[in-house]
Amino acid sequence: MAGGRRAVRRLFEPPSYLRGGRVLWASAGLSLVFGLLMLPYAFVVIGDLAPDRRVWAQGIGIVYVAFSLLFVALGETRSWIARMSMCVTLLALGAALVLFMGLQNAWVLVFALCVIIAFTRTAFAGSVVVVVVAALAVAAFTTGVIGETLSELLLLSSVGVAMILFVRLVEANAELRRARDRIAAFAVVEERERFARDLHDILGHSLTTITVKTGLLRRILEKSGREAEAAEAREVELIARQALADVRGTVSGYRVTTLAGELAAAGTVLRSAGIEGRLPQAVDDVHPEARELFGYVVREGITNAVRHSGARELEVRLGRNWVVVKDDGPGRGPIRKGNGLRGLEERMAEKGGTLSVGRGPDGGFLLRAELPAAHDDGAKDEDTR
């Protein structure tokens, strides 16, 4: 049952290109403009109806348009129940309007189809177009108006297919941008690691040799009673040791954990382990001071999923001052905290934050880290726990 719920929830999730709202108004605006341009003609048709049907059609039409606008305004909501309810309501309003206007005016459903296609996943949107066109065709055939309705069926089919292709194109472009960003972030991390490694191996080795040789020279001079020369050698030895410590500190700084780097590496790690990863494509919304710490949280969550959970799917969600890592592993018992989780708790405590470790509503491992409101800057926490 839990697997079925997850499948339905994923079906009604917003398309990936809507996350972050980068192209929200590009696709939604096209749908709205196309639909609004057809409204004047729709109300002309309604005006030719019988008085009793006209009142109902006008009322339903106004509600239909208003609800479509509401759907656009709430298009990015992550609640799959709300999204499913909006889709069903919008289609029901469109069907009621067609019922009063007649099957020969089924083109008014274009508005509903365009909005649903723009704000739902392609698989679901395509199914909606097929079901709507098939239902209209059956109704037209049984009522004997298939000839008058054929143009509407072709219009709905062509517009639906065109809109789906447009959305797929937008999704492909968005995915290319995200892939480019991930590659760039991963390249930066690799370059920092390479530079740190070369710095440690080459300069670190030379300074270690100088320190050891200088120490040996100082001891020889001290044994031979040449105190002045020994003092100079001791000063050179101290300088060499300090330089070696500075190099090691620089190397540690270049190997700092970053949230973008951890997310860039997580995709490869999860794919290698046969786990489907649902990862954020950007970290811009996360408070800059929280990114390094959240990088450790993501790393620990990924490591746990790969090593212990037996999960098939893992999701990482980010907010201004929080991060959630959850998987669908089969485990349901209490979770024993290892050194990694205890270390994370200490890191979070140093920043005044909290770390929650437990099971999700459907089982699996759930890790949530949250920093104080001082890191929030008034941003809304949209996480649904």
* Domain range annotation of the chain: 2-179, 185-254, 259-375
Number of Cβ within 10 Å of residue 83's Cβ equals 24
Of 38-42, 128-132, 191-195, give the lowest mean pLDDT range: 38-42
Helices (H) and strands (E) in the chain, counts: 12, 5
Give the mean pLDDT of the chain. Answer: 76
Q: How far apart are CA 308 and CA 358, in angstroms?
A: 14
Residue whose tokens read 């959850």: 326
Asked whether 101 and 108 are in contact (CB, 8 A), the reply is yes
Cα Dmax for the chain: 120
- Among 87, 111, 106, 84, CA closest to 95: 106
Reply yes or no on whether the pLDDT at 325 is more than 70: yes
Q: What is the mean pLDDT of residues 40-46?
A: 63
Partners of residue 81 on adjacent β-strands: none
- Among 318, 326, 314, CA closest to 357: 326
pTM of the entire predicted model: 0.52
Q: How confident is the model at residue 87 (pLDDT cuts 50, 70, 90)?
A: confident
Residue 118, CA distances (Å) to 121, 159, 199 in order = 8, 12, 51
Tokens standing for residue 32: 């709205």
pLDDT of residue 344: 83
Reply yes or no on whether the pLDDT at 369 is more than 80: yes
pLDDT of residue 134: 92
Q: What is the DSSP letter of 321?
A: S
Reply yes or no on whether the pLDDT at 375 is more than 60: no
pLDDT of residue 23: 47
Asked whether 21 and 78 are in contact (CB, 8 A), the reply is no
Distance between start and end Cα atoms, the chain: 20
pLDDT in tens, 150-204: 888 898 899 889 988 888 887 788 778 777 776 776 677 677 777 767 766 677 7
Reply yes or no on whether the pLDDT at 324 is more than 60: yes
Q: What is the mean pLDDT of residues 45-70?
A: 73
Q: What is the DSSP letter of 16?
A: G
Of 24-38, 88-102, 286-300, give the lowest mean pLDDT range: 24-38
Q: What is the mean pLDDT of residues 278-299?
A: 85
Question: Domain 259-375, what fold?
Answer: Heat Shock Protein 90 (3.30.565)
Of 3-7, 40-44, 94-98, 270-274, give the lowest mean pLDDT range: 3-7
Reply yes or no on whether the pLDDT at 266 is more than 60: yes
Tokens standing for residue 149: 């309705």
Q: What is the mean pLDDT of residues 268-288?
A: 82
